Amino acid sequence: MASKTNCTIHGKDYYRIKRKIGKKLNSKGVWVDDYKTILRQE
């Protein structure tokens, strides 16, 4: 079975979740999706 963790910080295993939190303007003036990365401990 595959492991859920994809990151180890200070010896603790974490897995990342990426969620869309809204929209923002980029440097070209185009609206793009804004994502936030959340680290969850297994």
CA angle centred on 34, ends 41 and 27, rounded to 5°: 135
- Residue 42: closest CA among 20, 10, 22, 14: 14
3-14 pLDDT, tens per residue? 666 778 888 888
14-42 pLDDT, tens per residue? 888 889 999 999 999 999 999 998 887 76
| pTM, 2 dp | 0.52
Return the structure tokens found at 36: 């936030």
Residue 2 pLDDT > 70, yes or no? no
Can you give the pLDDT at residue 39? 81
- Residue 18: closest CA among 33, 35, 32: 35
